Amino acid sequence: MGSLFTVVVGLLILMPLLGNIFFPYLWLDLSFLFTMLRVGYRWQKRIKSNPPLTVLDIFLEKVQKQPEKPLVLFEEEVYSYRDIDNWSSKVARVLQSHVGLKEGETVGVFLKNVPAYLWIWMGLEKIGCTMACVNYNIRSKSLLHVISSCEAKVLLTTPDFQGAIEDVLPTLNNKGVRVFYLSDDSPTEGVEALQGQIKTSSTEPVPASFRANITSKSTSLYIFTSGTTGLPKAAIITHRKVLSAANLFGLCGVHPDDIIYIPLPLYHASALSGIASCIDIGATCVLTPKFSVTKYWDDCRKYRATVVQYVGEIMRYVCNAPKKDNDRDHSVRLAVGNGMRMEVWKEFLDRFGPIRIYELYGATEGNAGFVNYTGKVGAVGRTNFLIKKLIQFEFIQYDIEKDEPVRDEKGYCIPVAIGKTGLMVTKITENAPFEGYAGDVQKTEKKMLRDVLKKGDCYFNSGDLLMQDHEGFIYFQDRVGDTFRWKGENVATTEVEATLVEVDFIQEVNVYGVPVPGHEGKIGMAAIRLKEGLPFDGKKLYLYSKDYLPNYAIPRFIRIQDFLELTETFKQRKGQLVKEGFDPTVINDPLYFLDDSEKCYVPMTQEIFSSITEKKLKL
């Protein structure tokens, strides 16, 4: 009997150890699955309640529970949940009674990162209006386009943008769009200042009857997607989608006592998801006027931030900043965001300490996404049989040259094998809808793929190429438009960038394909920013590229730039670089050409350019 007891005890001790060896992510998988089920159940309950709950209802619930708790920290200002509620009620009353807004109408918000953004959002929710989040960097034609595309009746802004407003005001007036400044005085004729009225307005709760017709499928927000080319598209964000986004921090282990640092622009979907998630959890967030690499860690220390939200290249900037003795002197325990490159991820952890990173994958207008809840460096998510039942997605074969999915003889798309790169598509269902873009049926339809796996089905086309490995980890490979084909091979720009950035004199790199007369596909080119004080070494880069990249993926042209231009959402711009190509008469930056005979990148000359375009030089 004693020996049997010993065996049982031994097995109980060994089982977790064996589990960690053979199923290293089992407990994390189970924990995340249960969290997903719990969050999903709560979401369903909220959207199916009568009347359906919105983010405003969650906010008002938190106001009742913790009125004096800080919701927003901004520079030296502190705004409690009650403060935001009071200001939003004031704004709601002025917009309804004085401005004359009606339930269901749209208001463009053209503001910098200020706390007013939040109380305007809640104020518009209180009167059943939609907020269009206008990027404050756009001007003229783009500004008019975004206001028109979402059919905004009113534009709220500040005198900070006087020049931009006065440039488009005559056109806005002709279209019946009224502009108001959130200030005490107006420097612009025809633009009224509202701040005086807002200050003296009542803080009494706004009656629910003002938003009586709002449903979970009503539009809460318009968020403008900013690709590297073309005019912005107004993604329709319904109340149910806002509630779904509000689950973000709950999936990533954020607690009510956390202080969340959000240095992202508030017109960006990630920032608004962060705000909604902060409200849902009942936590405190820190807003900044704009992202500042020099103030990043000082801000985190000042506000005692425990969670940071990131997007795109922000973390690369943080890692590129000069090292300091107090780099690990902070309270940050979690980083939540998307777009962190593998090499940056490693450096961030090595330099700033054991911060838990939750890398996400998703699109503003998309209907599904992933969370890397294991901390696996470089992965954007993880899947298994059960998660795939909850999130109906596929990675399908994609023809880069034809710019379309590959279909079989029956006309259906072909899923890729494990370890192969494919186009990410997610099934459009009642619980995972795709709402499309305001005023653009053509672009909405373009994002929908029909008859993917069977007749009559419909999937959202993410436009992203992803890969699932044998352990179930998912990796972002490239954007469809960024991957190019050369010598019959697909070249993923992100893979080439991740390789080249390891060269000791390279600070940043942006890889893209450029067309060459008389050749099929596009040839590789890289825009590079050098590390401060280090010169370009064409011989070293040549040898490194030959050692670490296949021939077809090695950039044949190098362009040295003082800085690499980013979109407003911190993604590298490639469109203009592709357009300018490798013509030395067009480009003023230093240009280099990979010369195999010299085993070196040599300065690009007009003679070399002419030899290429006249097909005298073999590539």
Query: To which residue do tokens 């017709």 refer?
Result: 213
The tokens for 450 are: 């029909």
- CA–CA gap between residue 95 and residue 206 (Å, rounded): 12
Residue 228 pLDDT: 44
Domains 52-245 and 249-361 share a fold: yes
**Topology classification of domain 249-361:** Rossmann fold (3.40.50)
Is residue 391's pLDDT more than 70? yes
CA 562 to chain centre: 25
Task: Note the pLDDT tens digit of each residue in 251-279.
Answer: 999 999 999 999 999 999 999 999 999 99
Task: Note the pLDDT tens digit of each residue in 95-116.
Answer: 999 999 999 999 999 999 999 9
162-174 helix and 140-149 helix, angle to the nearest 10 degrees? 50
The dihedral of CA 201, 202, 205, 209: what is its sign? negative
DSSP state of 604: -
Residue 479 pLDDT: 83
DSSP state of 510: E
Q: Is 554 exposed, middle or buried (0-12, 13-18, 19+ CB in 10 A)?
A: buried
Q: Where is average pLDDT lowest: 216-230, 291-305, 397-411, 431-445?
A: 216-230
Alpha helix locations (H) across 94-225?
Answer: 116-126, 140-149, 162-174, 195-200
Output the pTM of the full model. Answer: 0.86
Measured CA to CA in angstroms, residue 200 lies from 191, 194, 294, 459 at distances of: 20, 10, 39, 50
With a pLDDT cut of 70, the percent of the chain lying above it is: 95
Is residue 227's pLDDT more than 70? no
Question: Which CATH number applies to 52-245?
Answer: 3.40.50.12780
Q: Where is average pLDDT lowest: 11-15, 85-89, 329-333?
A: 11-15
How many secondary structure helices (H) and strands (E) does the chain include? Answer: 20, 30
The tokens for 58 are: 């969650």
81-93 helix and 116-126 helix, angle to the nearest 10 degrees? 60
Residues 6+ apart with CB under 8 A from 250: 35, 39, 277, 280, 281
Show the beta-strand stretches assigned E in 226-373.
233-238, 259-262, 284-287, 307-311, 334-338, 356-361, 370-372
Residues 6+ apart with CB under 8 A from 189: none
Query: To which residue do tokens 């009071």 refer?
Result: 86
Contact 264, 175 (CB under 8 A): no
Task: Note the pLDDT tens digit of each residue in 376-389.
Answer: 999 999 998 888 88
Residue 264 pLDDT: 93
- Maximum C-alpha span of the chain: 95
Amino acid at 370: F
Residues 6+ apart with CB under 8 A from 298: none
Residues 6+ apart with CB under 8 A from 93: 201, 202, 206
Residue 494 pLDDT: 85
Residue 229 pLDDT: 46
Query: To which residue do tokens 């085993």 refer?
Result: 599
Query: To which residue do tokens 């993410």 refer?
Result: 462
3-state secondary structure 54-93: CHHHHHHHHHHHCCCCEEEEECCEEEEHHHHHHHHHHHHH
Contact 549, 556 (CB under 8 A): no
Is residue 11's pLDDT more than 70? no
Residues 6+ apart with CB under 8 A from 318: 293, 296, 297, 348, 352
| Domain ranges, ordered by start, for the chain | 52-245, 249-361, 381-478, 482-613
Question: Which CATH number applies to 381-478?
Answer: 2.30.38.10
Residue 440 pLDDT: 86
Main-chain phi, psi angles of 603, to 5 degrees: -55, 135
Show the beta-strand stretches assigned E in 362-431.
370-372, 381-382, 393-396, 398-399, 404-405, 421-427
DSSP state of 572: B
Is residue 519's pLDDT more than 60? yes
Provide mean pLDDT across the span 38-44.
93
Helix, strand, or coil (residue 370) = strand
Q: Which of 554, 580, 552 lies closest to 565, judged by CA? A: 580
- The residues facing 467 across adjacent strands are 421, 475
Task: Between 301 and 22, name the one with better pLDDT.
Answer: 301
Rg (CA), the chain: 26
- CA–CA gap between residue 75 and residue 468 (Å, rounded): 43
DSSP state of 373: -
Architecture of domain 482-613: 2-Layer Sandwich (3.30)
